[in-house]
Chain A
Amino acid sequence: MKLRKTHKLPALAERLLYSLVAVILSLLLATLVMLIAGYDPVKAFSAMLNGAFGSANAIANTLSKSIPLMFTGFAFAVASKGGIFNIGGEGQLYLAALASTITALALNGLPRILVLTLSILAGMAAGGAVGALIGTIKAKMRINEVIVAIMINYIVSLFTSYMVNGPLKAENSMTAQSEVISSNYLFATIIPRSQLTTALYLGLAFAVLIFFLFRSTRIGFNIRAVGENANAAASSGIHIAATTIGVMAFSGMLAGLAGVTEVLGKYGRFIDGFSPGFGFTGIAVAVLGSNNPFGILLTSLLFGALEAGSMKMSYVANVSTNMVMVIQGLVILFVATPEIVSQFAQRKGGKQNG
């Protein structure tokens, strides 16, 4: 007599509620750390809030910092649906950023629409290529993709570092960065003199695209089937290898867009080491957002706020900006552990447990 445990899967709202509790728990622990270290948590958090939402410029800053996280979050979420852990976000976004930079610089002089479009596409192709490589290795050689992706991350970022220290280095520049890309070829800024660009709209568009992909299309269904049960998927006629490679390519493209929007938006050039770990933070964003594109919009906003506010927090309360990393790390740990979160939620007053 087999026993069936009824897994009542909570609706998206309830899952996001869990995520909220995870964030609260992390903030509480972070507060503890601050107290032990002798900081004033109230001062620190209010400075952070101020820095994130305290003015139009602050909000612009927050939104702009959330853009790359949106994309790496999408990347991880999409791959997850297909049953793959895409830990290679860093490598994908760096190569994409490089490709965009080279394209924009090489096509200098041509009309804006052409250059911008081609640069974006070049970046997506580069990111997709790295993703497809990882997908191919996994599909054809059945190798665990995690270690492979981590190694590729290092190799690619070293390569781009070489490029921007050498062949691509701007003349008369002390730091390792490329030439400036003509502002004609960059994303337009939404709020003048801020770093917030129309790349935000691109992110929103992709959120909608991904949502409908998985809800209403056959491709989305096939991807989910492979992620859920590759055996059953194969028996139903789905080409597993093709789907795996395809998903990773798409995921790589999305991660690549994180690099593209930084280079063609925020900085206007390729700066060595410009990513403070977007690829890895994207994992937190995705998991916290329950691998749902709209959830990811919310969580990337949260993390963007944390990043944007951290400078002010450092300035005002003398807390290292890396405190944000502590919070991020804690969030990942909590959100990956539904049991802790649900126990806490129950104790805090009868939230329904799934």
Chain B
Amino acid sequence: MLAVNMRAITKRFGAMTANDQIDFQVEQGEIHCLLGENGAGKSTLMNVLFGLHCPDEGCIEIEGDLIPAVTPRLAYQLGIGMVHQHFMLINHLTCLENIILGNEPGNVVIDRKRAREAVQRLSDQYHFNIELDALVCDLSVGMKQRVEILKTLYRGANIIILDEPTAVLTPIEADQLLSILKEMRSQGKTIIFITHKLKETLEVADRITILRGGKFVALLDAASATPELLARLMVGHDVVFEIEKESCKKGDVILEIEDVRLLPNAQTTVSFSVHAGEIFGIAGVEGNGQQQLEQIIMGLVRPKSGRIFYQNTNLLELSHRARRHLRFAYIPSDRLKQALLSRVSLQENFLLGNQYDPMYVRRGFIQTKPLRESTTRMMKQFDVRATSAQQEAGSLSGGNQQKFVLAREVSKNPQFVLACQPVRGLDIGAIKYIHSVLLKLRSEGAAILLISAELSDIFQLSDTVGVLYKGELMDIRRTEGFDNESISLLMAGRKEEPRNETAQNA
């Protein structure tokens, strides 16, 4: 009997069809990977299964029973549990309280003793090692995820859906998760694993379903899958893994970071420099000081110690006013939160960061004509899809927003570019375009600091790579000096072990 049988599921949001007649079947007791690019419709499909969305067409069978309308409550009763990409945890409650939330033993008053015993027992059974009385806000990301998983198990889930669980984990933590999943499978649980990463799919899946553009593409046995085959099915055409890159022509030092302490309890300070014509990549799982580095360089936060030099000027001593005349381009990690005003027109958004440029503002007054012309020109050049420069920035798709931000920043003719997670959430076409823009800037002599959690970005673009872990720069090398394994170790905090001759590349 199939654990899950979804047939011809269709889900539309307005004019967009997120799921188009998708069939999805999961056997009991297997680990089934749902594979696809960003935006392929995987999360939507699982949200339908879990009852967060109502499908427009199609039917769902759980363990042989046809279920007409799923709700989260019903899903739980049927034994389905979901661990979301963005944790659904209550920060100011304890682990125990989070786990039992909605399912507390007792009638009106909570039977705390019974709750504690039951949860502790489960935690021990799967070797989770969770401290029940710790506040969730004090936990590490990996630990929070375990609380989420334990939550589903406590509620009696037999079918567990995980949405991009390793996106926020270090490689070591990811491995630990995968072994926990295998343990759960051996105890009879069914696991659905949403991901866009090929490596872990191949490592842990029994069967793989691939979605593309909202449609079902293929269902494979893991045994017959290879990375090339999966990538081709995901993207629809042969993927070139390598991008052409000119050799690095390093110029003068443009940005120099000296002895800056990124995090309060970091053991060492951070020092490195970025040259003109160079892409310096900072690898590392998000949350290890990248945000602090970003904010310190942009002058939003003062570091407790250290200095930053921009072509011989001490950045930290620059006034707000002086900063405005530096030729900095800034592509923040969260474009909507940090780079755009969503309810304001694209034209006015173009002014953001350019408002001290005499071309656009003279004697305090905005020059609308040159502003409109530049906006339209750059939008065309970067292929930003919008009805006009008057459209609100918030109504653009994620990819177009990112392209717009890039367009605006590049129009500044920057000497230094700070690009943070520049391709997060974008499809392969947009990713390739943005990569090419960054490489072009590099060949024109700009100094680029690239902060990214995506190893593919780092390896394809960077000339030099540094790894950030808990606010410390674990090592700095030329890109060729790294391979997937050595970089993963550093990202997880382990200093290099003796070189392994048979190390493989990504």
Contact = CB atoms under 8 A, between A and B. Distances in A.
**Is any CB of A less than 8 Å from a CB of B in the complex?**
yes
Interface of A: 1-7, 9, 216-219, 221-222, 224-225, 228-229, 231-239, 242
Interface stretch (B124-132, B221-229, B272-280, B330-338): B330-338
Interface in B376-404: 392, 394-398
12 contacts: A2-B39, A2-B397, A218-B356, A221-B351, A225-B341, A228-B341, A229-B337, A229-B340, A232-B337, A235-B330, A235-B339, A242-B320
B303 interface: no
B292 interface: no
Interface stretch (B10-18, B62-70, B443-451): B10-18
Nearest to B339: A232
Given A4-B395, A4-B396, A216-B366, A222 B355 contact: yes
A229 B338 CA distance: 8
A218 B298 contact: no
B361 interface: yes
A228 B337 CA distance: 10
B340 A237 contact: no
Contacts, number: 87
A149 B463 CA distance: 54
B366 A217 contact: yes
Given A3-B16, A237-B356, A231 B366 contact: no
A352 to B, nearest CB: 18
Contacts of A6: 395
Given A1-B41, A229-B342, A235-B298, A218 B16 contact: no
Given A217-B365, A218-B361, A228-B341, A236 B44 contact: no
A7 B344 contact: no
A342 B341 CA distance: 26
A242 B321 CA distance: 12
Interface string B354-376: 01100001001110000000000
B101 interface: no
Nearest to B319: A239
A46 B355 CA distance: 53
A4 B394 CA distance: 8
A142 to B, nearest CB: 14
Nearest to B398: A2
Nearest to B353: A236
B324 interface: yes
Contacts of A239: 320
Nearest to B213: A1
A7 B320 contact: no
B137 interface: no
B353 A237 contact: yes
A242 B44 CA distance: 44
Contacts of B341: 224-225, 228-229, 232-233
A236 B365 contact: no
B39 A1 contact: yes
**Would you call the interface of chain B mostly helix, strand, loop, or mixed?**
loop
A231 B352 CA distance: 12
A230 to B, nearest CB: 10
A4 B330 CA distance: 24
B471 interface: no
B114 interface: no
Nearest to B360: A218
A237 B338 CA distance: 12
A236 B352 contact: yes
Contacts of A225: 341, 344, 352
Contact of B355 (A4, A218, A228, A231): A218
Contacts of A229: 337, 340-342
Contacts of A237: 320, 323-324, 353, 355-356
B352 A233 contact: yes
B348 interface: yes
B267 to A, nearest CB: 30
Contacts of B330: 235
A218 B352 contact: no
Contact of A1 (B44, B342, B353): B44
A7 B394 contact: yes
B214 interface: yes
B389 to A, nearest CB: 16
B300 interface: yes
Nearest to A242: B320
A56 B40 CA distance: 70
Contact of B340 (A2, A7, A218, A232): A232
Contacts of B365: 216-218
B440 interface: no
Nearest to A239: B320
A233 B324 CA distance: 12
B495 interface: no
A109 to B, nearest CB: 40
A220 B425 CA distance: 33
Interface string B1-43: 0000000000001101010000000000000000000011100
A183 B336 CA distance: 56
A191 to B, nearest CB: 38
Given A4-B397, A7-B394, A228-B344, 8 more contacts: A2-B39, A5-B14, A224-B344, A225-B344, A229-B342, A232-B339, A233-B341, A235-B300
Contacts of A231: 337-338
Contacts of A233: 341, 352
Which residue, of A6, A217, A225, A229, has the highest number of chain B Cβ atoms within 10 A? A229
A229 B340 CA distance: 8
B343 interface: yes
Contact of B352 (A216, A217, A219, A232): A232
Contacts of B332: 235
Q: Most chain-B Cβ atoms within 10 A of its Cβ — which of A224, A228, A239? A: A228
A219 B364 contact: yes
Nearest to B328: A237
A225 B40 CA distance: 34
Contacts of B348: 221
Nearest to A222: B355
A214 to B, nearest CB: 11
Contacts of A217: 364-366
A210 to B, nearest CB: 15
B144 to A, nearest CB: 24
Given A4-B397, A235-B300, A218 B343 contact: no
A228 B356 contact: no
Contacts of B394: 4, 7
A6 B395 CA distance: 5
Given A217-B364, A217-B366, A221-B355, A1 B298 contact: no
Nearest to A1: B39
A277 B403 CA distance: 49
Which residue, B41, B298, B342, B355, has most C-beta atoms of chain A within 10 A?
B355
A1 B392 contact: no
Contacts of B361: 218
